[in-house]
Amino acid sequence: MKIPEFETKRIFSKYGIKTPRGNVATTPEQAEKIASELGRPVMIKAQIPISGRAKLGAILPANTPSEAKAIAAKLLGKEIAGMRVKEILVEEKLDIQHEYYLGITIDRTARTYVAIFSPIGGTDIEEIAETHPEKIIKVHINPFIGLLPFMAKKLVRSAGLRGNDLRALPDVMIRLWKIVQDYDAELVEINPLVECDGQYVAVDARMIIDDNALFRHPEFQKFTTSEVLSEREEKARELGIPYVELDGQIAIMANGAGLAMATMDLLHLYGEKPACFLDLGGGVSSERVRQALSVVLSNPRVRVVAINILGGITSCKEVAIGISDALRKLNPKIPILIRLKGTDEEEGRKILEESGVNVILKDTMEDLIKSAISIYRGMRDDPCKRKHKSNSPRHYG
C-alpha cells in the first residue's frame, strides 16, 4: 500500500526526520489560510501516490496566500495521471543548497533489504542510474542485524562526502531503517533530502507498506479506499481484477501474475515502461476479459496494448471472445497486439481473425513486445501525434 506524502511526513517527524512546515487542505480557502499562517512563499503539492508529480504539473509554487488559493482551486478536483486530486499539501518553500537521495527498499534478487544513497537528488532514481550510475551507492542489510552506523557512514563516505554530510546523512538513513522495521515497509524514500541553512529536510517522502502486514497497522485502513487508488484501480478492485497503474504508455495484460511480470520485464529490457500491470488469472471467462480490457482502454495514457496469453486451464477461445466483444463495443483507436498460445489456440485466433476487430496477432512473447515498442515509438516520434511537453522548471516544496 502506498501511504500519502503528508502521512509519511508525519511519520518521519515522529522519528526525528525534519520536514517542511505545512498542512493538508481540501479547499482553496484552507490552502489560503495555511499559506497565510506560514507567512512565506509555499509549494502546493497534489496528494496523489505517483512519482514525477512536478513534471505533471502537480507541484506548483505560490508566492502569496491569494496565489495559493488560486492554484489550489486549479488542482483540487483535477485528474492527473488518472487520479482525482482530493487533497493538497501546502508547505513552506525552502532555499535549497543541495539535494540528496536516500532510500531503503527490498532487493528481490538478493532476497534482502538494500539501502541506497546518491549525492544527486531531485531526480527519479531510474534517471540517476541511467545518467550517473557511479553516483548510486548501495549496501545490503541483513534484517537480523539491521543497518548499523558504520554501514550508513560507508554509504555517505563512498560518495565522497565529508563534514556535516558525514555526520547528518547516516543518522537520517538509520532513522529510515527504523521506520522500515516498525511499519513493515517495502520502500521508504526521501527524494530529495535537501540541505537548507545547515539543516537536512525531507522535501518529498514516499512509503509503501506490505499489504500482508496491514493487520498490524489499523491506522492505515483509511488509505485502502479510493483515496490512494485511481478511478480505474478502484473499478478493477470492485471487479476483482488485479490491476496496478504505472507510469509508462504500453499496457500489459496477461493470464497469471508471473507471466505479466515476465512480460513487463521484457518491456523494460528493451527500454520502455509499462502503463499497467493486469493479471487476468487462470481459467478466465470471456466476460472477465471484456471487463479487464475495458478498464485498460479507459486510461488516456495508454497508447498501445500488449496482451500475452498462455493457455493452460485458460482457454484462448474464451479470451478471444472477450477481446472481440470489448473491441466491438469500445472501438478503440489504439493498436491492440495479442499473443495466444496453448489451449484452444487455433479457435481463438480464428475468432479474432473473423471478428472484424482490428488486432495484431503475434506468435512469441518477444515478437509481441518488440512490435508493441516499435509501434509506440513510431507514434511517439511522429510530430503530428506527439504530445506537448512542458519546458517549465522543476519545483520543490
Residue 245 is a catalytic residue: no
Strands 185-196 and 98-107: antiparallel
**CA angle centred on 83, ends 208 and 30, rounded to 5°:** 90
Tell me the C-alpha to C-alpha distance, in Å, between residue 301 and each of 111, 249, 250, 251, 396. 33, 6, 9, 9, 25
Tell me the C-alpha to C-alpha distance, in Å, between residue 192 and each of 213, 342, 396. 27, 48, 9
Quote the CA–CA distance of 9 and 7 in Å, as a whole number: 5
List 32, 67, 189, 245, catalytic entry: 189
Quote the CA–CA distance of 336 and 294 in Å, as a whole number: 12
Mark residue 340 as left, alpha or beta (left: phi above 0; alpha: psi -120 to 50; beta: remaining): beta
Cell of 138: 548501495
Cell of 225: 479506499
Torsions phi, psi for 105 (to 5 deg) = -145, -170
Which residue, chain included where needed, has cell 516544496? 397
Strand partners, 342: 311
Name the residue among 311, 315, 367, 357 with its Cα closest to residue 336: 357
Quote the CA–CA distance of 180 and 77 in Å, as a whole number: 32
List 100, 101, 113, 243, catalytic entry: 101
What single string gives the DSSP state of each residue in 175-198?
A: HHHHHHHHHTEEEEEEEEEEEETT
Residue ranges with strand state E in 185-335:
185-196, 199-202, 206-209, 243-245, 250-254, 274-279, 304-311
- Residue type at 327 in one-letter notation: L
Quote the CA–CA distance of 160 and 118 in Å, as a whole number: 10
Torsions phi, psi for 39 (to 5 deg) = 70, 30
Which residue, chain included where needed, has cell 515502461? 273
Question: Residue 253: how many CA atoms within 13 Å on its side-chain side?
Answer: 27
Residue 234 is a catalytic residue: no
Cell of 370: 518488440
Hey, which residues are catalytic here? 101, 189
